[in-house]
Amino acid sequence: MLAAPVLIAGAGGGLTLLAVALRRLDYERIPQAAVLAAAFFLASLVSVPLGPASVHLIFNGLMGLVLGWVAVPAILVGLLLQALFFGHGGLLALGVNLMNLAVPALVCAALLGALLRQAERGRRAVLIGAASGAIAALLTGVMVSLSLAASGSELMPAARILLATYVLLALVEGAVTAAVVGFLWRVAPELLLPSEEVSDG
């Protein structure tokens, strides 16, 4: 459904983002990246119908907090597997989808990563996790809707519907991310230290 200019811009933006991420790659985070990429891939297979659309968990807020810049290649791997095995998103839209998911992940890492490192109590860490999950989902919804809207006025109704579904998804993403962050805070708090490169820009 996306117009050629949107696909081309997404491909260029996605390649640029991936190049920067690979230059800043933190090899110590690769095991966590593999686990979260697998979780992202599996979550995409469980879609919940919501009106004329359907939604699924995306975990990009969690990936941003845990992985920092490594979230970019992790998300790309998940998207590529979805496209190759199930045709979700498609290969042509890979760049656009990467931008729509990875940019919110990096925004959350940059804005909330420092707060998470400074958290002294689990409750504050949980709140930061909730905010990250919700904000990332909302930003993704906005970017997906803009991608559709930029592809033609006839897609505006679909863009509005998708944005509304992402508002509801943000509530679920916030709750799930908060639960995961709370669990990690108790058993492996070192995993919640995002890459310094994100916050240092």
Q: Are strands 53-55 and 48-50 parallel, antiparallel or unpaired?
A: antiparallel
What local confidence, expressed as pLDDT, does residue 109 receive?
Answer: 93
Average pLDDT along the chain, 201 residues, taken 10 residues at a time: 91 96 90 91 77 77 93 94 84 94 96 85 90 96 94 88 90 95 88 52 42
β-bridge partners, 53: 50
Q: How far is CA 123 from CA 103, 129, 181, 185, in A?
A: 26, 10, 10, 9
> How far is the C-alpha of 118 from the C-alpha of 70, rounded, in Å?
21
**pTM of the predicted protein model:** 0.88
Please, what sign has the CA dihedral across residues 5, 7, 11, 13?
Answer: positive
Provide the CATH number for the domain around residue 74. 1.10.1760.20
Per residue in 99-113, pLDDT (tens digit) is 999 999 999 999 998
Counting the structural domains of the chain, the total is 1
The residue range of the domain holding 135 is 4-200
DSSP state of 120: -
**Amino acid at residue number 74:** A
What local confidence, expressed as pLDDT, does residue 128 receive?
Answer: 95
